[in-house]
Amino acid sequence: MKQDPTAGKNAIDLDSLLTIDVGSELRKLSSAQLQGPWQIPAEIARRGLRSGATSVEIRTRRGSIDVTDDGAPISTTVLQATASLLQSRASNEARHAALTALEHAGGLALLAVCGLPKKTLRVEVETPDAHFVLRADDRRSSLERKPPTGRCRNTVRVDSPGLDRRQVRTWLRSVARFDGGRIRLDGEAIPSSWAETLAHGPLSSPTPGRVGLPYEGETAHVWILEHGIITGHLTVPDSPVFEAAVEMGSEATDLSAARVREATMPHIAHIVAGAVRLACAFGPRATSLDANQRARFARLLLSAARRRIELEKVVQVPVFRVIDRGEHRLASLLDLRRATSDASEGHTLPALYPTQDPAGFALGERLTLIADATERSGLTEVLNSRFRPPNPRERGRSARGTAKQWSESVARMAARVRHPFGARAVPDAALSADEHRLVQALRAQLNEGRGAPSQVTLCEGSGPVRTGGTEHNTLLLPRRNEAVRAAMAAVASDPSWAYPAALALLQGEGLPALRGRNAWRDAWR
């Protein structure tokens, strides 16, 4: 538009106001889709996997990366648009048209490269019929056609100070750990997260991907992949612990993590059920697990049973340690249910703690459970049953019995020597409001408990919680003990915490009242 000569020196040039700053727009696009330059190699690898690559080789050096793949060739449209975008002498309109064409053609990885400062770029596309080489930097670009080489591959090399090698490698190991081994980093396969699971297997339609049972962690995770690279993540609360990687990529997808998370949400129940089915299929191999892994696997099945996920299969998996007619084996929830229903004392099952020696008890022909307090709590909720210690075996005058009695006496004496003042009781009248609330709540919990001390007393000191008193039937709680203080704070904030507080402070010495467990379950259901 020409200015009116009569407008004077203060006339406004509307053309200059409406001109789009291509460089600024390019930087905004790059920063919007990426957290930093270190993500660029992963996005170039994603482009290769999206185009059908079976192998992607990434080489990193200081301020430089090379990405080579055997996928479909990068189109000449993308190459020409990239060359035009990086040609600083081209008109603003031509560069903006190239930016739009590159964005519509799915060249987001190359757009991110174009947004890097102080860069040089080389893209080589080889096919049986053609061979193109794009060279560019911050000022100029060129696209050459060379004689065919007979190979099929794409190679992208980027040099820029913004490419920190350590960050690039760390990011690639994080987002490509579920790609199935197609990506190699500096000549080595990226370690797979599936190697850190008890078992893993494929998910059925409509959610292509895999699911595994991790060795560690207490929360279920769903990693959302877009063409083999992690794009988003979901945490699944109130679920058995598992780890899943779900492929949500298609030709219609972009890099919006929010969009792929929204698309994944309707499939969460299907993914959870797939994890439980995997656990049931792994069940026969539970005998090969060590004590910690078996306990973790048992918690997973108990969690599934509480939520009635694949219940008919879950109750048949043998994972709980028992002694059956003198033989150690693993039993299922169905076995334990039958044992409790056959008992003459109602839904009660003989049980030992893992630290107890079975030789000291008369087990008889009945099935006897071996479980810690956490496992017993889960079983109680699922089976609605109680556990009692088996009758002790008569020691008589055997050398073994005498030795055990002697060791127990020495242990009690040692405890008194270590904590000579720890058992000095604090009168109820001298308790603070929170201390009095805790003591009263615990007394109510233990009043009808099974095998638990019948008295609760707060005492001076910061030593361990233990059982003492004239009849060894009083739970002694040192008022400065960290566990006691935590239980006090929990009960003060919510009285329903009295049951888990009692369970923790008993340390395996019996169980609180069943009504306390029911109140806790009802409060948190």
Preceding omega of 117 cis (within 30 degrees of 0):
no
Residues 101, 234: one domain?
A: no
Q: DSSP label at 164? A: -
Q: Is residue 400 part of a domain?
A: no
- State CA 278 to chain mean position distance: 17
The DSSP code sequence of 382-439 is HH--EEEPPPBPP-TT-HHHHHHHHHHHHHHHHHHHH-TTTT-BPPGGG--HHHHHHH
pLDDT exceeds 60 at position 50: yes
CA distance 145 to 475: 86
pLDDT exceeds 80 at position 524: no
SS3 127: coil
SS3 142: strand
- pLDDT tens per residue, range 379-397: 988 988 888 888 887 654 4
CA distance 95 to 509: 77
Q: List Cα–Cα distances, 49 to 225, 228, 246, in angstroms.
A: 12, 7, 15
Beta carbons of 115 and 26 less than 8 angstroms apart: yes
pLDDT exceeds 70 at position 453: yes
CA distance 229 to 248: 10
Residues 257, 317: one domain?
A: no
Q: Is residue 464 part of a domain?
A: yes
pLDDT exceeds 50 at position 1: no
Burial state string for 189-215 with b = 16 or more CB within 10 A and e = fewer than 16: ebebbbeebbebbebeeebebbbbbbe
Q: Is residue 8 part of a domain?
A: no
- Tell me which of 363, 388, 413 is where a domain ends: 388
Q: How many angstroms separate the most distant Cα atoms in the chain?
A: 124
Residues 47, 181: one domain?
A: yes
Flag whether the pTM goes above 0.75: no
Closest listed residue to residue 511, CA positions, set 344, 397, 378, 365? 378
CA distance 253 to 264: 13
pLDDT at 413: 61
DSSP H or E stretch at residue 245: strand 243-247
Q: List Cα–Cα distances, 214 to 15, 236, 240, 525, in angstroms.
A: 61, 14, 11, 26
SS3 266: helix
pLDDT at 174: 93
Q: Is residue 251 part of a domain?
A: yes
Residues forming a β-bridge with 154: 69, 125
List the single range of 11-15, 62-66, 138-142, 424-428 with lowest mean pLDDT: 11-15
What is the signed CA dihedral for 93, 95, 97, 101, rounded to 10 degrees?
A: 180
List the single range of 155-169, 241-255, 450-464, 489-503 with lowest mean pLDDT: 241-255
Residues 44, 177: one domain?
A: yes
pLDDT at 271: 94
Q: List Cα–Cα distances, 123 to 112, 330, 437, in angstroms.
A: 14, 60, 73
Q: Is residue 255 part of a domain?
A: yes
Residues 137, 205: one domain?
A: no
Closest listed residue to residue 213, CA positions, set 193, 195, 223, 198? 198
Q: Is residue 80 part of a domain?
A: yes
Beta carbons of 134 and 79 less than 8 angstroms apart: yes
Residues 464, 376: one domain?
A: no
- pLDDT tens per residue, range 91-117: 778 888 888 887 777 777 888 888 888
Residues 364, 501: one domain?
A: no
Residues 178, 206: one domain?
A: no
- Tell me which of 388, 408, 441 is where a domain ends: 388
Q: Is residue 77 part of a domain?
A: yes
Residues 60, 177: one domain?
A: yes
- pLDDT tens per residue, range 4-18: 554 555 554 434 433
Q: List Cα–Cα distances, 234 to 46, 253, 362, 415, in angstroms.
A: 21, 18, 50, 49
Average pLDDT along the chain: 83
The domain tally of the chain equals: 4
- State CA 169 to chain mean position distance: 22
- Tell me which of 239, 258, 280 is where a domain ends: 280
Q: What tokens does 494 get? A: 């919510």
Residues 427, 507: one domain?
A: yes
- Which amino acid would we find at residue 397? R
Burial state string for 407-432 with b = 16 or more CB within 10 A and e = fewer than 16: eeeeeeeebeeebeebbeebeeeebe
CA distance 30 to 52: 25
The residues near 428 (Cβ < 8 Å, ≥ 6 apart) are 436, 439
Q: List Cα–Cα distances, 272 to 33, 42, 221, 266, in angstroms.
A: 30, 29, 10, 12
SS3 234: strand
User: What CATH number does residue 75 fall under?
Assistant: 3.30.565.10
Residues 59, 125: one domain?
A: yes
pLDDT at 381: 86
Beta carbons of 70 and 53 less than 8 angstroms apart: yes
Residues 185, 197: one domain?
A: no
Residue 85's domain spans which residues?
18-189
pLDDT exceeds 80 at position 260: no
CA distance 321 to 305: 17
Q: Is residue 97 part of a domain?
A: yes
